[in-house]
Amino acid sequence: MSAGLNWDDLRFFLAVAEAGSLSAASSVLKVNTTTVLRRVASLEDSLGARLFDRSRSGYRLTPRGERLLAQLAPVDQRLSALTRDFVADENEADAVVRVMAGEAVASAMLAPRLPGFRDEHPELHLEIVAEPSLTGPAPSAGAPGGSMKDIDVAIRFARPTQGNVIVRKIGDMAYGLYASRAYTAVRGVPREPGRLEGHQVIGFAVSESPLGPVWWMSRAEQGASVVIRSNAVGVRAEAARQGLGLAALPCIVGDRDPMLVRVGEPEDVGALELWLVTHNDTAHVGRVRDAMDFVVACAKEARSALMGEGAVAGEPAGVGANDDQAAVTAAE
Give residue-wise pLDDT tens across range 265-317.
999 999 999 999 998 888 888 899 999 999 999 999 999 999 999 665 555 55
Residue 22: is its pLDDT beyond 70?
yes
Q: Which residues contact 65 (CB under 8 A, 6 or more apart)?
A: 13, 17, 49, 50, 51, 52
Number of residues written out for the chain: 332
Cα 85 from Cα 71, distance rounded (Å):
23
Residue with the larger pLDDT of the pair 268 and 326: 268
Task: Indicate the pTM of the whole model.
Answer: 0.69
Residue with the larger pLDDT of the pair 332 and 315: 315
Residue 74: is its pLDDT beyond 90?
no
Contact 155, 145 (CB under 8 A): no
Give residue-wise pLDDT tens across range 88-119.
445 555 578 999 999 999 999 999 999 999 99
Cα 221 from Cα 109, distance rounded (Å):
29
In 3D, which of 272, 293, 276 has the Cα closest to residue 154?
276
